[in-house]
Structure 1
């Protein structure tokens, strides 16, 4: 214990006794808190804040709903971008600090960090989902070769993850996608078998600003270009993504998460696009924390 100035009337022994008494008092207070069970709550540990992503995403809409369903009225949901969220996760993870994030898989963060989803007993986020390929109305007639490829397109979480991790490690998206294509010629051949080449027809693909969709659309761009298409990629928020497909200003996307994540847009633009098929199954979303946060395992735990 350090005193910054001399206190008149106290001798050395008196000062030492005073300091020891103060320290013992603090220790007793801490012991009393531990004995009484007082401890930092989940909310206090993260300042009652969930670190989110882009505000237009279906995931953020569901998270806002989860705060209501679980009566987490004193919690805040911050918005930003997927990159900002993962940057915040890395900072916290490196210091083993608490953090709660909006999460989805496939995503490279589940390969880079030890994370766990919080249980969702009310199923606000639903069960596992699917990623669908959807096109504008009439695309089948305009680009039958591409349409056939879209119908056949199906891959695994592990496939997408290879591209995502490479991109996160600094490889350019097209280079990462090309490496995956080179290593998986058999799968690509299943999508393109018997499909005739075209001569420079332009296809416009749109996708949400998520690492998973960056991977899938850069990969499919190369597959289509190999068949003779000129492919234009546009990264937009989910709302404009569905709107572009519905009004015909874009041809297709492989980024429709159904039936929960994009339900709002599914209902809004019902009948204005064609669902070509499922390109990935068993995808998931929810809230996640690092596994070192051992006392938090369910969204219900956030109320404690």
Structure 2
């Protein structure tokens, strides 16, 4: 028996499931069905395996960036009220709003153009240090003491400014980390918000430092959410194409230029055709699903951390 008040809910649920089946389940099942027969063929192509390898490395590094950058930010947003918090909140959400091609343009502009303020400044500092070293050469003992330090700083700065971002792993990681870190931050922020702050306050009153409170009280309660957020960030990085078209259409890695997996599939589609792209798409989807499921099973992660 269906009560009158339940009918709208059931209709809404039926429509929701129908849309889910049509927009998500049907395309996935169709791709895997058509492409799985050619899975062995796709995985026998050396260039495609290289594309998967460089994509996994890129995405893993991006997830690590998200963890390092995102964990303190998530804790800050979950636990504190401060001026300009809404601005910080908005900045974190910008990667979701901006077209990915524009993200690629921003990365190139910021790190691989004459407008690179950071590298230009570091180059200027390195030049000034070399002038200082030259001036110190007139003072024997002082020069002997300080010259190794100055030269080490110059070498460090020139090493940093020598990093290239276009068609390199550095640039690819920067682009996908820009786009994927938001997912990690929001998942971890929500998890920390659910931890009772009274426990942290009590620990602080007993003399525990903020870092010890986080490690001993907060971390055990949110580590699964952190792992889940890192997985989402990793998966988002694997799927990226738009920003990579600008920053790293091909990645110089181990002496060769290798397409990221998404670009490889695009090249397959444009250069050969749909049927060829289907087998590589299915292979990548199956591999990502296996990694995704195995990771969650291994850590016992359920939705919501």
The TM tier, using the shorter chain, reads under 0.3
By percentage of residues, which structure has more helix?
2
TM-score normalized by the length of structure 1: 0.23
By percentage of residues, which structure has more strand?
1
Larger Rg computed on CA atoms: 1
